[in-house]
Amino acid sequence: MASVQQEAVDQNVFDKLLRMLSRPFGNSTEEKQKKLQTLYSQVSGEFAGLESPVSAILASMIAFKPAIEIGLWGEGKTRIIDELAWGIDGASYFYYPATPETDKDSVLGPINIEDYKKGHLTRIHSAIYNSDIVFIDELMRGGRNIRDLMLDVLSKHEVVEGDSVEHLKYRAFFTATNTTPTAEEDMALYSRFPVRVFFNEVQKELLPSAISKGLNGEVELLEKELEGLKAKAMAQVTRKKPLSVNDLGNIQLEVNDKTLRFANNPAFTSTIANLVVALREKGIHPSTRTDISLARLAVAFSYLRGNKDVDREDLALSLYYCGPNTQDDLAKIERIIVEQKLSLTQEKIEKVEEEFQKLKEMEEIAKTTPSEITFKALRREIANADTLLGTMKNDPKMPEFTSYLSDLVVEAKAAVKKRDEEDLN
């Protein structure tokens, strides 16, 4: 039986893989698609190491699937939604932080007393009715009434009270929570968020960039608060809104049409079915609703990433964000992605990581115990690294993940050159 260590996927490698896969590499000539990719680049550029969550949130938006962000405080969950909403020109945005005291009146607006006296239950509408993007933060902490209400809203896209039926026009619906919902009474609502975006700690090598970008973001917010309208006017000038709300609607229709084409593709539906079986074999049992969302999100990722068809890496991303019920499920899904060979890029990243460790170790040995034998071994390892880098130089996905190995090769070659010069003297 394989050990837990053998079963686990290298988290450092997998995090890098997710960041890489999330970036659009297609050379799309379609204007709306390019705008969508520009919005992705603009928002992900505000953070360090959050390319994958930004991509997942955008994919959920164009797939018309509600998403829930799950992670500790202060990891960027709210700000990602804020930045995406801000980047869509003409989009109306409704944000409400739910608490255990939150009730229907807080979210929908108060009851119209005059109509109520006449026997009609109507409300003085809050902005949620006409908002394009709705974000009920910490919905799972809200009171029972508001959770039941949002379950109806997510199921029917409307608010039903008595004989009154009010349609909501939202194009995207989000919530966020600090812990994965586990209470039985929350499972029906949780299941209405088929896209689950788990947030992890920022990787060690990205911390300087995360701190720098975070400080810049705080300075910008503080300037807005201190300078008021002047700063807001400046922000309007300096920051673009790459996508319009009409573009978003048209993109959602295009993703819908593309989904319909794949719905009637036996090879595609069989592939999705095989992934569902793989999840079940790992002890993860998605609902049929989740199975359908898995397929739809894969199509959305293919659109976002500029792919004409749905490739294996679109499937990998969709599986990662639609498959898990809890954060513990992520390790199982990472294993499925490896076993199903949904990303050949992961193998390349692993080879780079392995060669980096070999070269670094050999360089240390040569420096601490310099001899003809150790430097001969270092030259051999440098040659191996050069060969590996040569096989990847034309892959547009790899530069970020080969740069640190390239730097080490330069450093090791300098050590060899210095040794050769000392021998000559």
pLDDT band at 344 (very low <50, low <70, confident <90, very high): low
Q: What pLDDT is attached to residue 396?
A: 62
In this predicted model, what pLDDT tens digit does every residue of 245-287 receive, in sequence order? Answer: 999 999 999 999 999 999 999 999 999 999 999 999 999 999 9
How big is the chain by its Cα radius of gyration, in Å?
Answer: 25
DSSP 8-state class, residue 51: H
**Average pLDDT of the segment spanning 214-234:** 62
Choosing from 170, 185, 202, the residue where a domain stops is 170
In this predicted model, what pLDDT tens digit does every residue of 365-419 receive, in sequence order? Answer: 998 999 989 999 999 999 999 999 888 877 766 776 788 889 899 999 999 998 8
pLDDT band at 2 (very low <50, low <70, confident <90, very high): very low
Looking at the structure, tell me whether residues 106 and 83 fall in a common domain: no
Count of domains observed in the chain: 3
Choosing from 309, 342, 375, the residue where a domain stops is 342
Residues 147, 185: Cα–Cα separation, whole Å: 10
In this predicted structure, the answer to whether residue 229 has a pLDDT above a threshold of 80 is no
Nearest CA to 320 out of 341, 299, 300, 297 is that of: 297
Q: Which residues contact 201 (CB under 8 A, 6 or more apart)?
A: 75
Looking at the structure, tell me whether residues 208 and 338 fall in a common domain: yes
Q: Higher model confidence: residue 423 or residue 189?
A: 189
Residue 187 lies in a domain: no
Query: Domain of 82?
Result: 1-67+78-90+193-342
Q: What pLDDT is attached to residue 12?
A: 62
Looking at the structure, tell me whether residues 201 and 314 fall in a common domain: yes
Q: Which residues contact 359 (CB under 8 A, 6 or more apart)?
A: 381, 382, 384, 385, 405, 408, 409, 412
pTM (2 d.p.): 0.77
Residue 176 lies in a domain: no
Residues 298, 282: Cα–Cα separation, whole Å: 21
Residue 359 lies in a domain: yes
In this predicted model, what pLDDT tens digit does every residue of 107-155 receive, in sequence order? Answer: 888 776 776 666 666 667 778 888 999 999 999 888 888 888 899 889 8
Of 1-5, 62-66, 107-111, 271-275, the poorest mean pLDDT is in 1-5
Looking at the structure, tell me whether residues 327 and 410 fall in a common domain: no
**Average pLDDT of the segment spanning 327-337:** 90
